[in-house]
Structures are given as C-alpha cells and as structure tokens.
A = this chain, B = another copy of it.
Amino acid sequence: MVTAKVWVLKKHFEGFPKISNFDLKEIELPNLKDGELLLQSVFLSVDPYMRPYSRRDMKEGDVMIGTQVARIVESKNPAFTVGVFVVARSGWRTHFISDGKDLQALPSSWPESLPRSLALGTIGMPGLTAYFGLLEVCKTKPGETVLVNAAAGAVGSVVGQLAKIWGCKVVGCAGSDDKVAYLKKIGFDEAFNYKTVTSLDEALRKASPDGYDCFFDNVGGEFASVAINQMKKYGRIAVCGAISQYNDTVPQKGPYVQIPMIFKELRMEGFLVTSWNNRWEEGLKALLKWVMEGKVKCHEQVTEGFENMPAAFIGMLKGENLGKAVVKV
C-alpha cells in the first residue's frame, strides 16, 4: 500500500492565489490491478494556465490540475517497464496509478545527460507553445522583428531563441534586471526591464524604431495596448497568455483595438498549443536537437519539495522565476 500526497483546491481563487486556497492531503492508493502501473512524480510543473483553468475545469476539493515527469515504480502492464520516465497529466500528486493511456514517453533520443525536467519546459509544452506560436501563428519570416514579453519565462525565452535561429531581430521585455541580463546572454538583440522604464512606449520605440512585425504576447493588458500601436503594417500578434489579467476580480479595460487593427491591417490570433497535438513529435524533436546543439539554452527555477508547490505556483504568477518553474519532489 502506497500513500500519495496530493494538493487539492480547497477554495476557488479570488484575485491572486493564496497559500490558504490549497490543502495538502494524503490518499492511500489501492493495489494495482492487471494493466495498471504505479508512478512516482519526480518533477512537477507550475504553469500560468492553471490559474484560468482552475475556474473552468475544477471544483473545490479537486486535486490541482497539472503535469509531471514521473518514474514507473511498479507495473502490471507489459507495455511499461519499471524505471522508465514519462510525462503525465495527473495533477499535483506525489504518486498515482495509471492504465498507461495518457502517458507520454520522453523522446527516444533523450540523452542521459539532459535533465528530465526539461520535458516540462523547453522540450515540452512551453517549448512547443513557442515553436507553434511563432511558426504557425506569427508565421515569422527571416529579417522580421519579433517582440516578446515575459521574455525570461518558460515560453518567452524559447520564443526569442527560436526567432534568432529563424533569422529575426528579437526584442524582449522582462520584470527584473537579472532577467534582462539573462536575455542578453541568450542572444536577444534588445531587452529591457518594463518595470523600471519611464515609458514603455518610448522603450519599445527605441528598441525597434521601425516597429514590430510579430508580437508574441504572454501578458496582455496594458503592455499589449501599447505594443499594438507599434506594429508594422500586416503585423501579426500571437496571443499566447494574459498573465496580467488572470487574477483580475473585475475585468480590466483598455483602449479598443479596432482602429489600429484596421488601419494597419493587423492579425491577432489567440491559440492553445493543444491545437497541434498531432505535431508534438515534430516539435519535440526540433527542440531537443537545438538544445543539444546549444542553440537553445534552458534555465530552470527549481523549487525543492512537494510541500512547496503552492508557493512555487504563486511565485511563478508573481514572475519570481527565471526560465521554467518546476518543483522537484
């Protein structure tokens, strides 16, 4: 008999999530039936989407939604061998039982030397979000100028590096000087701290006086309102996230977008990476290759201890992480 620890949503978030919204519980797992396997979480992911999706997909008392890299510790399913690592979508749990259907093997070419936690970040959902967002939504072309915000985050840092690989000029914004230094280190052409600039409008104009062809938006809100006025004719805006709005209790307002949309003939497209579920293998293969070649660098903010999951989640929403925020069990 195995005891799993789980984090449940005790009370729906109102505004910014608090530690008191969560409850740590213990669950006795039953013995395995034929076809089942027991898994132990090794790394768990905390991601912005959990904030809006908690309201849509969960009720109070449910185990928090989420993804992990897990190790198979016991198997009554001949298709799965003990010791193998997989990506699962089993929520905030230390242990869980699966019939194997929703498990995703790490790419077969995954090198031993590479941290498996990257399967939750650059070589996982966030990396794929950057890949398909730039390739299929922005339809970025060589020579174009790409703007990305939350640029030192799990998605943004990959967006900038892929845009560089694809021959673009890249401008990134982040919320601390350390993050800005990191962006310059990984090859961003221009980077600035949006919290300390006198005027975001001026900082964006200075970084690219001719404007922007593509804007990969992870933030929404006021940032997006300023950026839209600096798009070039036929510019594309990939709306990936709106982290500045997820904790609003009353929806924020900003200037209507229609006039710049019309007169600059802009395209704005919201997207979820799940729309390319049938192309994940292609994306993961490309990302793994670039990481191994050193063309895409990865940084992770690792929080130790399952008991710190709510703190890691809240810290990530506050922008305390550089790169991908993960929790090591």
Contacts and interface: CB of A to CB of B under 8 A. Distances in A.
Contact of A259 (B52, B268, B269): B52
A132 to B, nearest CB: 12
Interface centre among A260, A269, A272, by most chain B C-beta atoms within 10 angstroms, is A269
A250 to B, nearest CB: 10
B259 A245 contact: yes
Interface string A243-279: 0010000011111111111111111111110010000
Tell me the number of copies of this protein. Answer: 2
Interface centre among A56, A256, A267, by most chain B C-beta atoms within 10 angstroms, is A256
Contact of A256 (B52, B253, B271): B253
Contacts of A252: 255-256
B272 A217 contact: no
A66 interface: no
Contacts of A56: 263
Interface stretch (A138-146, A234-242, A283-291): A234-242
A9 interface: no
B265 A261 contact: no
A254 B263 CA distance: 19
Nearest to A269: B267
A257 to B, nearest CB: 6
A124 interface: no
A220 interface: yes
Given A265-B272, A269-B267, A270-B266, A239 B253 contact: no
Contacts of A268: 257, 261, 267-269
A306 to B, nearest CB: 29
A271 B262 contact: yes
Given A265-B271, A270-B263, A270-B265, A258 B52 contact: no
A67 to B, nearest CB: 18
Given A251-B255, A254-B253, A270 B261 contact: yes
A242 B258 CA distance: 6
B251 A256 contact: yes
A72 interface: no
Interface of A: 52, 56, 217, 220-221, 224-225, 239-242, 245, 251-272, 275
Given A217-B258, A253-B253, A253-B256, 15 more contacts: A52-B259, A220-B256, A221-B256, A224-B256, A239-B258, A242-B256, A242-B258, A242-B259, A242-B262, A253-B254, A261-B269, A264-B270, A265-B269, A266-B270, A268-B269
